[in-house]
């Protein structure tokens, strides 16, 4: 299985996640955006994911919920600035457990030798917000999410 | 008249603009968001401003046009992640003349001794994007915009 790479440089406000998926951008984009598929990969495995809102078009809104085994809900929401299938998504991101800390996320899907090179960049409002996200265990969660996404892609 | 302050540190991805307005947050927020007032202050004086779209609520979209004396149009657009009157607006920002370069903008309005302390933070997708915005003369344009906003506030 391909490895997920992270670029997290000291003093910067961003986190970059890279991964190669063994399918075309059309397929990866479908897995990434289809509200029926999102619960199968979005977030760590220990949560179930509920898609509360997924208006996957420029100007639309999204809200997903991670639910743990005890029934606790963790909400996330944002708006889509741009959805350009199958190349690019630009959206905002806010974890409702830490309100008023918003990130700008850019996902790009590039075809390379029949595979898809995914690059996800999250830019935070401050270095402190970025560092807090890293310390919260984001890297482990993101790696698991990317592995799950690869599994969904493999089924399409 | 109050001065506009800028915080633009080397190697960072953000630009911070600060200004004190001589009115309550309610009044400043109104000037900032009322589509009828936006053309009176948004952008440098040498352009006229057309409000093409201003859905000023969380999840809404916006698009403004700067028009020069020769009739050339310069479009800007984004989505509102959060509109919380009169304290806070979080939105995306894209200049259509440089497509696919998006910023996340956070505006806060805080009451201090009957006046309003405005802090506007723009976070860019890269240091290069941030530096490009600075080199394009953003500081001069932003200073003029803040002066114009103060003039509109004074009329309310």
Digit-coded pLDDT (tens) for A119-149: 999 999 999 999 999 998 899 999 999 999 9
Would you say B104 and A104 are in contact if contact means Cβ atoms under 8 Å apart?
A: yes
Q: Which two tokens stand for residue B92?
A: 């995306």
pLDDT given at position A2: 66
pLDDT given at position B2: 66
| Beta carbons of B104 and A88 less than 8 Å apart | no
Chain A residues with a Cβ under 8 Å from any Cβ in chain B? 11-14, 59, 61, 78-82, 88, 90, 92, 94, 100, 102-104, 106, 121, 123-127
User: ω before A58 within 30° of 0 (cis)?
Assistant: no
pLDDT given at position A68: 96
What are the helix (H) ranges across B63-126?
Answer: none
Would you say A35 and A22 are in contact if contact means Cβ atoms under 8 Å apart?
A: no
pLDDT band at B137 (very low <50, low <70, confident <90, very high): confident
User: ω before A26 within 30° of 0 (cis)?
Assistant: no
Quick one: which of A124, A75, A122, A66 has its CA closest to A96?
A75
Using a CB-CB cut-off of 8 Å, the residues of chain B touching A62 are none
A95 vs B133: CA distance, rounded Å: 29
Q: pLDDT tens digit string along B64-108?
A: 999 999 999 999 999 999 999 999 999 999 999 999 999 999 999
Quick one: which of B54, B83, B78 has its CA closest to A58?
B78
**ipTM exceeding 0.90, yes/no:** yes
**Residue B155 phi, psi (nearest 5):** -90, -10
Containing B112, the helix (H) or strand (E) segment is strand B102-112
Q: What is the mean pLDDT of chain B?
A: 96
Q: pLDDT tens digit string along B59-69?
A: 999 999 999 99
Fold of A5-45+84-155: Alpha-D-Glucose-1,6-Bisphosphate; Chain A, domain 4 (3.30.530)
């Amino acid at each position: 299985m391909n490895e997920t790479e992270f670029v997290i440089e000291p003093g910067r406000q961003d986190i970059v996640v890279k991964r190669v998926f063994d399918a075309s951008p059309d397929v990866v984009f479908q897995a990434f955006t289809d509200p029926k598929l999102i619960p199968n990969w979005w977030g760590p495995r220990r949560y179930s994911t509920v898609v509360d809102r997924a208006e996957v078009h420029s100007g639309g809104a999204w809200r997903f919920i991670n639910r743990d085994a005890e029934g606790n809900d963790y909400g996330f929401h944002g708006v889509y600035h741009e959805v350009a299938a199958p190349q690019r998504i630009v959206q905002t991101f806010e974890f409702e457990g830490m309100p008023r800390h918003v990130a700008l996320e850019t996902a790009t899907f590039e075809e390379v030798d029949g595979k898809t090179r995914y690059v996800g960049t999250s830019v935070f409002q401050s270095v402190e917000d970025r560092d807090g996200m890293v310390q919260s265990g984001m890297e482990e969660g993101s790696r698991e999410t990317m592995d799950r996404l690869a599994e969904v892609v493999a089924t399409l």
